[in-house]
């Protein structure tokens, strides 16, 4: 059974710091991994999608890496800003399912203070 874990559960940092959020999964048989952002009381915004054949994806100040064999992904946020405060979720798409079902971690709640 695929399980996804995110560490840390919560993180509070001053503005300007570079951050690393961690995601680990127990079964390396995945099609892809997706990182999302969720603001309080809101839906999910897709940040980055990494295919199983890729090592990393970049979008602006965000960089996500994937090491499928070790079951790990990291989301790197450069020069953090207060507007980055949100919960960050990772999700994997297991390759043994017939649909694009996602298995989610419980998230990392990030607070960036001025």
Partner 1 sequence: SQTIHQWPATLVQPVGSPLSLECTVEGTSNPNLYWYRQAAGRGLQLLFYSVGIGQISSEVPQNLSASRPQDRQFILSSKKLLLSDSGFYLCAWSTAGTSVTYEQYFGPGTRLTVT
Q: Which is nearer to partner 1, 69 or 99 (CB)?
A: 99
37 in contact with partner 1 (CB under 8 A):
no
One of 21, 33, 36, 65 touching partner 1 (CB under 8 A)? 36
Binding positions for partner 1, 45-104, rule CB under 8 A: 45-46, 49, 51-52, 89, 91, 93, 95, 99-102, 104
**Contact yes or no for 2/23 (Cβ under 8 A):** no
Exposed/middle/buried for residue 102 (C-beta within 10 Å: 0-12, 13-18, 19+): middle
Exposed/middle/buried for residue 59 (C-beta within 10 Å: 0-12, 13-18, 19+): exposed
Sign of CA dihedral 64, 15, 86, 106: positive
One of 13, 31, 76, 109 touching partner 1 (CB under 8 A)? 31
Kindly list the residues in this chain that would bind partner 1 in the complex (CB under 8 A): 4, 31-32, 34, 36, 41-46, 49, 51-52, 89, 91, 93, 95, 99-102, 104-107
């Amino acid at each position: 059974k695929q399980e996804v874990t995110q560490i840390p559960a919560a993180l509070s940092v001053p503005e300007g710091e570079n951050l690393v959020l961690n995601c680990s999964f127990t079964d390396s048989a995945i099609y892809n991994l997706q990182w999302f952002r969720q603001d309080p009381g809101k839906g999910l915004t897709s940040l980055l999608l990494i295919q199983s054949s890729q090592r990393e994806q970049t979008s602006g100040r965000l960089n996500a890496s994937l090491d499928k064999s070790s079951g790990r992904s990291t989301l790197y946020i450069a020069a953090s800003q207060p507007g980055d405060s949100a919960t960050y979720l990772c999700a994997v798409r297991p390759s043994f399912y017939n649909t694009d079902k996602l298995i989610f971690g419980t998230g990392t709640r990030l607070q960036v203070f001025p």
